[in-house]
Chains A and B, each alone.
Chain A
Amino acid sequence: KQEVTQIPAALSVPEGENLVLNCSFTDSAIYNLQWFRQDPGKGLTSLLLIQSSQREQTSGRLNASLDKSSGRSTLYIAASQPGDSATYLCAVLNYGGSQGNLIFGKGTKLSVKP
């Protein structure tokens, strides 16, 4: 059974720092891995999607990498800002799973201090 783990559960950094959030998964047979952002009281917003054949994706100050063989993904946030404060979740779509059947980690709560 696929398990997705995110460490740390919470992270506090000063504004301007570059930071890395980690995601690991136990079964490397995945279609894709997605990173989401969740603000308090809100739904999830898709940030980046990496397909199984890709190694990384970039959007603005965000860069996500995928290493299927080691079962790891990282989300790199450059020059962090207080507006980046949110919970970040990763999720994987297994081979044989439908698009609606993502397996989620429990998230990393990020706080960026001014």
Chain B
Amino acid sequence: NAGVTQTPKFRILKIGQSMTLQCTQDMNHNYMYWYRQDPGMGLKLIYYSVGAGITDKGEVPNGYNVSRSTTEDFPLRLELAAPSQTSVYFCASSLTQGSKNIQYFGAGTRLSVL
């Protein structure tokens, strides 16, 4: 069972570069999320999606974009990387928002912007 898969695991970017963090899940979950985790802190929600074609902003969306063309994939795009975007990024998915809803997390992508 693959679960939630994130690529790459590590990346170093120069200021102003762009990149896409990939996230895919094979559990047919309708909800997907992107979080960032700064050192010593909890997770902050960047964007989320309740289904293919539907996305919405979380707490800290500035500097990021997302798309959800399929149920499985939810890529996160950084257009003009800034040092403030140095963080660990987690993708997660869940089936419903009901009582058995559990968020399954990917292993994370560590991004450094220099």
Q: Do A and B bind each other?
A: no
Q: Which residues of B contact A (CB under 8 A)?
A: none
